[in-house]
Structures are given as C-alpha cells and as structure tokens.
C-alpha cells in the first residue's frame, strides 16, 4: 500500500463552510484511487471557513503522475445540502512530488466535480481531456450572451445578479458596502432637507453648504480654482477624462477661429503655434444630436462643443476659444477669454457638462465597464481554469499627438504601467507559448478572441480587433490591453469622479437653460438658473461619492488572493511584476509631493485589480 497526503484549504469567504461529508478521488496516469471520505481529526470542523485540513488516501500502488482530482459532497441525514467554497487542494505523492489543484469554486450540489492540476500541460489522459471539454460545455451554459441594446457590446445574460454563478457575484462585503455607502451618502444629504427640493440654486454659498458634507483634498482644491482657465485646461490632461484632447495641426472647417480672436495683439499666429505643436483641440462631436433628458418636468440641454487650447510659455494649457455647437452660425458665437466674465464662464460650464456626459457614456461606461464585461464573459465561456490566459495607451497617445505635452501625468504614469504589465504578460505567455504556431493551434484561445470580435465589437473589422491570433507578439499586446483596460484605465477614469465632480459647478451633470446665442446676456443669475436643480445636484454628488469610494475588500493591481500560479518560473515573473509596481508607486508618491495638486489615479497602490464597481 502507498499513501497520498491530501491538504484541503477552505476559502475565507463568508459562508464558505460546509457541514456535508466531502469525498475525493485521485486520478493519475497509471490508475485512480477509490472514492475516499475525507474524515479527519477535526471532524465537522474540517471544512469551516479558512480551515486547512490534512487527510490520508491509501492506494494499492502508485497512481503515476496525477492528472486530476474528483470532489463531491453529500449531506448528512436531517441536514440540508449547503454550499462549500473550496480554495485549493494539495496532494503529496509517495514519491514526494507536490501537486497543486486550484479550485476557487462553490460546490453547492452533490455532483462529481473534476479539477485538473495547476500546471499547464497537454491533456494526454482521456479523463483530462474529457474534464476540459466538460468544463467548457458547462461554462458555455452558465455564461451566455445577451444583446442588451442595438449596436452595443453584448452583455452576460442573467435575470438578476443573484441568478449569476456564485463565482462572479459581488462578495457579500462589497454588496453590503455598496448599498450602505449609497444609503449613508444620501442620508447625510437628506438630513439637510435637500433631496426633494426641485428648485434652482439661489446663490453659490448654498451650494457650498451642501459641498461641506463630503469633500476630499482634491475636491477642495477644485472648489477654489474651478473658474481659472489654467485649471480648466489642466483637467483635459489629468481629470477624469484625459482621452479627448489631441494635437491640432489644422482647424476643423466648422470651427472658424481667427488670429484676431485668439491673439489680438499680433504677438503670434495660429499657423505658427500649430507648427510648434502648441495648439490642441477637444471636439465633442459624438454628442451632436444626442437628446437631453427632462428632469423635474424641465427640459435639459446638452451641447457638442469644440474647445481650442494653447500651451503657453509657462507650459500651461489655456483655453483660447469655445464654440458650443458643431455648426457655425450667427447664433452660435465663439466665446473667448476676452469676453465678459460670465459669458466666458458659462461657455466653460457647458463644456464641463458635455465632458461629464462624454466621460460617463463613452470613456467610463463603454470603454471600461462594457468592454471589460465582454473580455471576462468570453474568457469564462471559452477558456478552462488551467490555461495560460486566465485599448492600447501607447498607440492612443501617439495617435492623438500628445507625446510631448508637459504635465500630462495620466500619460506619464499610464505608459509606465503599460510597460510593466507588458513585461509581465510577455514573461508569462512566452513561458507557455514557445512558438507562433502554438498560439495559432490553441483552439480555446482562438475561440476567445473570435467571441470578443463578434460579441464585443459586433464583427466590425474597422475596430482593429483581430478575429484570430497569429503570433505570440500579437497575443501579448492584446492581453496587455485587456489587463490595462480593466485595471489602470478604469482607475484613471473612475477614482477621481468625486474629486472633480463633488463641487457641482465644476462638473454639472445636467444643465437646464440653453446656451446664450449672443454675447453680453449672461450674469451670475443666469449661471445659477442654468445649473441643475438642488435635488439633482445632491443626488449626483451622492452617486459620484459612491462610485469613487474604495471598498474594504479592495485588491490592488498585481495582487492575486487566489493562488493560481503553481510553477516556479511564473511565480518568479509574478513576484518581479509586483516589485516593479511597488517601485513605480514609490516614484509616483515622491513626485506628487512636489505638485500643487497630486495625481494619484495611476498609482499602482490605488489601482483596483479589476473593474470592481
């Protein structure tokens, strides 16, 4: 007789415990064990939350190289069947070899569940191949596509969050905190009797009294500087939407700005400044024709502005012209810094409101949340657990021509994070894929990218998304993009939302008067009447606070609570990845100490490991 030492680790999630009887079978290249009841000295506490329990499994002869294990459980008489979250099983063979089986699954029934060893290898054993096929078939059943809206990325089909497989539901902690934060945020505002007030703001001081309920170091800075042109320009680089600004080498035909407008004293010309790379454009053309909502029975107004900016000799990005609608006309004036205080300020307010909508709909929702769901659902559908794979900022920065803009911390930090992720992905994938042909012949990998192309990008070839992978280099870049999008990019456009939007005048979520059609007609009263009503303002503030708040089960980029990597070289690559992120975090913190306003969104220590909210 030979003995195998089996160690079972129960997860540390809430309700991970099982009081059912647990059984195991070991399957190797030379045979398999009997189904063994795992009864140890701990008795009923063997599989409580966080438990690490050891057992012996006896076999008449060695099973050879272990291929997989089978786990199942049975309820005791008079006891209900429960759910057990098994984290990992480790098996030590009589020869002294250690086999690690990452589980990280809820087992809620009495069926037999097969789990393969954590190392990635070809499935030469028939049960290994069968297990892999079974897993994919079950995943295709559990994770199905749904066309939520025409011309939008497809989403996961589910009646409600509780109908999703246990593994992809929010943790109890995150779920509870989400509703608690929303409730307390609104409660604090309700105490001031503002949530039902549908009237306009009567003065800025009233807005300030609400703002005092919730504020951050950055939001206080925003409140003090929101009217300043330099801060207005700064937000295109380091606010929550750094994705729109681009180098301007020629004015759009629908934006007839002249030298006399922006350089009235003839000190320079637009043509010369364009040649020097000092002129930049923000064009909100995607919003043209978008119908605004009706709130509190009042029609709202959303513009599609064009903004021209100039990098001055002090390296500050200054707005020099704003046109609020796409079609030039007599009733669509080009606003200038030389206009009256409130003409110029109201133009900037309409831009900030447009930026809020562009950011939420395109940059935040579409380009992180909806695409992240596509990447994840396709991965869950097509790639089994033991597989090498568990919007590219360099290209984007180059395409927009903003490589040399000073004080662009989103770009500087983002490119460094991209490089670190790229080295990590390259190391891992080069370990598993030695040749391009191995990539081409990986059917599960090819199904994954085709699923993304069809359901995420609706088979549109012009998106640049490949339909199949032909080489390791292409795969590395795509996987880097997925990780960057779902972590760093989401952090860049999500975590600062309350910082920049908590002070409503800087980022009004809606506006309820049309823009002026002639200059000289605006005043502070006009501005206050244009702002959203009191209740809309406080609801917006509470929402941005909720979206920006870090949960207590926050996991930073590069940290993996679930231990899926079992081989020495990948574990070393992961350790190097974590050290590089730690070094970058230290460098960013040191830089921020020298800045008037720190840029923390791309600090690896502050980046969530996924699109978690």
Tens digits of residue pLDDT in 152-195: 777 777 777 766 766 666 554 455 555 555 566 666 555 466 77
pLDDT over 50 at 138, yes or no = yes
| Alpha helix stretches (DSSP H) within 313-463 | 341-358, 371-382, 393-400, 409-432, 436-440, 443-455
* Residue whose C-alpha is closest to residue 373's, from 611, 104, 83: 611
- Alpha-carbon gap, residue 495 to 612, rounded angstroms: 11
pLDDT over 80 at 354, yes or no = yes
- Alpha-carbon gap, residue 27 to 295, rounded angstroms: 63
DSSP, residue by residue, 490-554: HHHHHTTHHHHHSSGGGS-S---SPPPSSTT---HHHHHHHSPPHHHHHHHHHHHHHHHPPPTT-
How does residue 94 score in pLDDT terms, banded at 50, 70 and 90? very high
Do residues 20 and 84 touch, judged by C-beta distance below 8 A? Answer: yes
* Residue whose C-alpha is closest to residue 40's, from 5, 92, 79, 88: 5
Residue 265: Cβ within 10 Å count: 6
- Alpha-carbon gap, residue 388 to 442, rounded angstroms: 11
Residue 213: Cβ within 10 Å count: 17
Mean pLDDT in residue range 322-332: 97
| Alpha helix stretches (DSSP H) within 145-228 | 172-190, 204-211, 217-225
Q: Percentage of the chain with pLDDT > 90?
A: 60
Q: Is 309 helix (H, G, I), strand (E, B) or coil?
A: strand
- Within the chain, all domains assigned CATH 1.20.245.10 are found at 361-493+559-606
Q: Percentage of the chain with pLDDT > 70?
A: 88
Answer with the residue of higher pLDDT: 447 or 164.
447
- Within the chain, all domains assigned CATH 2.60.60.20 are found at 2-142
Q: φ and ψ at 53, to 5 degrees?
A: -125, 140
In the prediction, which pLDDT does 377 show? 73
pLDDT over 90 at 128, yes or no = no
Measure CA 329 to chain center.
40
Mean residue pLDDT across the chain = 87
Answer with the residue of higher pLDDT: 445 or 375.
445
**Annotation-wise, does 422 bind a ligand?**
no
**Annotation-wise, does 82 bind a ligand?**
yes
Question: 361-493+559-606: which CATH topology?
Answer: Lipoxygenase-1; domain 5 (1.20.245)
Tens digits of residue pLDDT in 266-283: 788 999 999 999 999 999
Q: Is 323 helix (H, G, I), strand (E, B) or coil?
A: strand
Tens digits of residue pLDDT in 563-613: 777 778 989 999 999 999 999 999 999 999 999 999 999 999 999 988 766
In the prediction, which pLDDT does 140 show? 67
Do residues 270 and 278 touch, judged by C-beta distance below 8 A? Answer: no
The number of C-alpha atoms within 13 Å of 235 and in the hemisphere containing its C-beta is 29
Where would I find the beta strands (DSSP E) of 216-303? Answer: 246-247, 279-283, 294-295, 298-299
Residue with tokens 């020097």: 276
Do residues 592 and 605 touch, judged by C-beta distance below 8 A? Answer: no
How does residue 75 score in pLDDT terms, banded at 50, 70 and 90? confident
Measure CA 43 to chain center.
43
| Alpha helix stretches (DSSP H) within 19-94 | none
Q: How is residue 443 written in tokens? A: 């059917």
**Annotation-wise, does 154 bind a ligand?**
no
Do residues 428 and 568 touch, judged by C-beta distance below 8 A? Answer: no
Buried b (16+ CB within 10 A) or exposed e, 301-325: ebbbbbbbbbbeeeebbbbbbbbbb
The number of C-alpha atoms within 13 Å of 608 and in the hemisphere containing its C-beta is 20
DSSP, residue by residue, 113-128: EEEE-SS-----SHHH
Tens digits of residue pLDDT in 488-505: 999 999 999 999 999 999
In the prediction, which pLDDT does 367 show? 80
pLDDT over 60 at 476, yes or no = yes
Do residues 449 and 375 touch, judged by C-beta distance below 8 A? Answer: no
Q: Which CATH class is domain 2-142?
A: mainly beta
- Alpha-carbon gap, residue 133 to 264, rounded angstroms: 72
The number of C-alpha atoms within 13 Å of 175 and in the hemisphere containing its C-beta is 8
Q: Which residues are CB-neighbours of 269 under 8 A, at least 6 positions away?
A: 259, 263
In the prediction, which pLDDT does 452 show? 85
Mean pLDDT in residue range 58-75: 92
Q: At what angle do helices 204-211 and 534-548 cross, to 10 degrees?
A: 30
The number of C-alpha atoms within 13 Å of 169 and in the hemisphere containing its C-beta is 19
Do residues 20 and 13 touch, judged by C-beta distance below 8 A? Answer: no
Strands 2-10 and 52-59: antiparallel
* Residue whose C-alpha is closest to residue 428's, from 566, 328, 571, 265: 571
* Residue whose C-alpha is closest to residue 468's, from 436, 430, 432, 500: 436
Q: How is residue 211 written in tokens? A: 């703002």
Q: How is residue 591 written in tokens? A: 């830089």
Q: Hey, CA dihedral for 185, 188, 191, 197, is it positive or negative?
A: negative
In the prediction, which pLDDT does 265 show? 81
In the prediction, which pLDDT does 333 show? 97
**Annotation-wise, does 369 bind a ligand?**
yes
Q: Is 518 helix (H, G, I), strand (E, B) or coil?
A: coil
Mean pLDDT in residue range 208-237: 92
**Annotation-wise, does 346 bind a ligand?**
no
Q: Which helix (H) or strand (E) holds 129?
A: helix 126-142
pLDDT over 50 at 322, yes or no = yes
What's the CA dihedral at 141, 143, 146, 152 to 10 degrees?
A: -150
Q: How is residue 310 written in tokens? A: 């100039």
In the prediction, which pLDDT does 179 show? 59
pTM of the model: 0.83
In the prediction, which pLDDT does 254 show? 98
- Alpha-carbon gap, residue 317 to 238, rounded angstroms: 12
């Amino acid at each position: 007789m030979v003995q195998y030492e089996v160690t079972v680790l129960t997860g540390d999630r809430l309700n991970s415990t099982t009081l059912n009887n647990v059984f195991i079978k070991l399957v190797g290249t030379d045979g398999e064990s009997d189904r063994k009841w795992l009864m140890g000295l701990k008795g009923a506490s063997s599989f409580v939350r966080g438990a690490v329990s050891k057992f012996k499994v006896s076999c008449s002869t060695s099973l050879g190289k272990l291929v997989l294990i089978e786990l199942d459980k049975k309820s005791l008489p008079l006891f209900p069947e429960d759910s057990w979250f098994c984290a990992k099983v480790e098996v030590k063979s009589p020869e002294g070899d250690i086999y690690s089986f990452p589980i990280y699954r809820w087992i809620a029934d009495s069926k037999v569940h097969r789990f393969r060893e954590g190392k990635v290898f070809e499935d030469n054993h028939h049960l290994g191949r069968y297990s892999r096929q079974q897993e994919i078939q079950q995943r295709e059943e559990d994770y199905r596509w749904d066309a939520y809206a025409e011309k939008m990325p497809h989403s996961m089909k589910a009646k409600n969050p509780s109908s999703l497989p246990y593994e992809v539901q929010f943790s109890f902690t995150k779920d509870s905190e989400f509703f608690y934060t929303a409730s307390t945020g609104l409660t604090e505002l309700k105490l001031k009797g503002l949530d039902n007030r549908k009237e306009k703001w009567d003065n800025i001081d009233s807005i300030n009294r609400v703002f005092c309920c919730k504020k951050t170091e950055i939001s206080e800075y925003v409140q003090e500087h929101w009217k300043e042109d330099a801060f207005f320009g700064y937000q295109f680089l380091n606010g929550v939407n750094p994705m729109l600004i681009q180098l301007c080498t020629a004015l759009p035909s629908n934006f007839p700005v002249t030298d006399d407008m922006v350089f009235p004293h003839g000190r320079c010309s637009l043509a010369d400044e364009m040649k020097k790379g000092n002129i930049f454009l923000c064009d909100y053309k995607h919003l043209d024709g978008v119908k605004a909502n009706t709130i509190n029975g009042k029609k709202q107004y959303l513009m599609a502005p064009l903004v021209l900016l100039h990098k001055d000799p002090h390296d500050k990005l200054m707005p020099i012209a704003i046109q609020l609608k796409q079609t030039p006309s007599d009733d669509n004036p080009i606003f200038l810094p030389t206009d009256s205080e409130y003409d110029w300020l109201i133009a900037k307010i309409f831009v900030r409101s447009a930026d809020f909508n562009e950011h939420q709909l395109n940059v935040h929702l579409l380009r992180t949340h909806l695409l992240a769901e596509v990447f994840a659902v396709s991965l869950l559908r097509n790639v089994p657990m033991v597989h090498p794979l568990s919007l590219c900022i360099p290209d984007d920065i180059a395409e927009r021509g903003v490589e040399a803009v000073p004080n662009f911390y989103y770009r500087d930090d983002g490119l460094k994070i991209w490089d670190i992720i790229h080295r990590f992905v390259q190391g891992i994938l080069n370990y598993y894929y030695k040749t391009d042909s191995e990539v081409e012949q990986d059917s599960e990998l090819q199904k994954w990218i085709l699923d993304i192309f069809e359901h995420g990008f609706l088979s549109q070839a012009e998106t640049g998304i490949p339909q199949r992978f032909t080489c390791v280099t292409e795969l590395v870049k795509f996987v880097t993009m997925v990780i960057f999008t779902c972590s760093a990019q989401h952090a860049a456009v999500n975590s600062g939302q309350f910082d920049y939007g908590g002070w409503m005048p800087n980022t009004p979520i809606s506006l309820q008067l049309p823009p002026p059609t002639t200059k000289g007609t605006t005043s502070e009263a006009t501005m206050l009447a244009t702002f959203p009503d009191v209740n809309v303002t406080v609801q917006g503030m509470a929402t941005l606070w909720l979206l920006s708040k870090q949960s207590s089960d926050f996991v930073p980029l590069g940290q993996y609570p679930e231990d899926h990597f079992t081989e020495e070289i990948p574990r070393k690559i992961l350790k190097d990845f974590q050290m590089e992120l730690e070094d970058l975090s230290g460098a960013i913190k040191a830089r921020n100490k020298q800045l008037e306003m720190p840029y923390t969104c791309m600090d690896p220590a502050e980046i969530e490991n996924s699109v978690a909210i």
